[in-house]
């Protein structure tokens, strides 16, 4: 992923609180979440706990090692509601119209074709579902991806809108991140 390092989970929690973010997104027990670019499960594991035994989390990532770590973590924590897929977000669609939430956790800027990823997200969402894009602000700062590949809030919102979504909100998540929430626009007959 563009050569920048991941960071220890304890350090990451200081600036990204998965439970608070998912509460903001509206995750409740029984919901289905698709975590695109799930990596080792930093967001997928808390989502699975919040969704509960009647919910489901689908994790998608190209990193086989990350997916294996996620599967091991889910197993150790007794989370039977996590299903993983190794593949690119541009080509992997684990379900159609099944997701209450499609979550992009600081990764939209990493994809070769973000528009295709968003089109796939729309296919996976229920008509009432929410797209949530958490990403780095386009600011010069220590850590994270290189400045040149970051998307500004406006650019992310335009990509999301162009993919057929209606923006519900764009908000700051601390000093480093923003969260875009959107719903698929209804298809007119």
- For residue range 152-168, what is the model confidence (pLDDT) as tens digits? 999 999 999 999 999 99
| Three-class SS state of 41 | coil
| Three-class SS state of 31 | coil
- Measured CA to CA, the distance from residue 95 to residue 111 in angstroms comes to 20
Q: Which segments in the chain show pLDDT lower than 50?
A: 1-5, 8
**pLDDT tens for residues 9-35?**
556 666 789 999 999 999 999 999 999
Structural domains in the chain, CATH included, are 9-184 (3.40.50.150)
- Measured CA to CA, the distance from residue 140 to residue 160 in angstroms comes to 23
- Measured CA to CA, the distance from residue 61 to residue 37 in angstroms comes to 5
- Measured CA to CA, the distance from residue 2 to residue 44 in angstroms comes to 22
Residue 120's Cβ-count burial label (10 Å; 0-12, 13-18, 19+) is buried
Predicted model pTM: 0.92
* Predicted local distance difference test score (pLDDT) of residue 114: 97
* Predicted local distance difference test score (pLDDT) of residue 5: 45
């Amino acid at each position: 992923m563009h050569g920048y390092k991941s960071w220890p989970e304890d350090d990451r929690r200081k600036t990204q609180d998965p439970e608070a973010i998912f509460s903001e997104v509206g995750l409740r027990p029984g919901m289905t979440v698709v975590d695109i670019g799930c990596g080792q499960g930093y967001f997928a594991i808390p989502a699975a706990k919040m969704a509960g035994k009647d919910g489901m989390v689908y994790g998608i990532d190209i990193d086989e090692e990350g997916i294996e770590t996620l599967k091991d973590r889910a197993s150790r924590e007794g989370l039977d509601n996590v299903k993983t897929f190794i593949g690119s977000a541009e080509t992997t669609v684990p379900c159609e119209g099944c997701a209450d939430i499609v979550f992009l956790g600081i990764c939209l800027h990493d994809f070769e074709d973000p528009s295709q990823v968003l089109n796939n997200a729309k296919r996976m969402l229920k008509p009432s579902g929410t797209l949530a894009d958490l990403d780095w602000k386009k600011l010069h700062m220590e850590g994270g991806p290189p400045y040149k590949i970051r998307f500004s809030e406006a650019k992310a919102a335009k990509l999301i809108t162009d993919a057929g979504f209606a923006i519900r909100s764009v908000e700051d998540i601390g000093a480093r991140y923003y969260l875009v929430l959107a719903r698929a626009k209804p298809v007119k007959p």
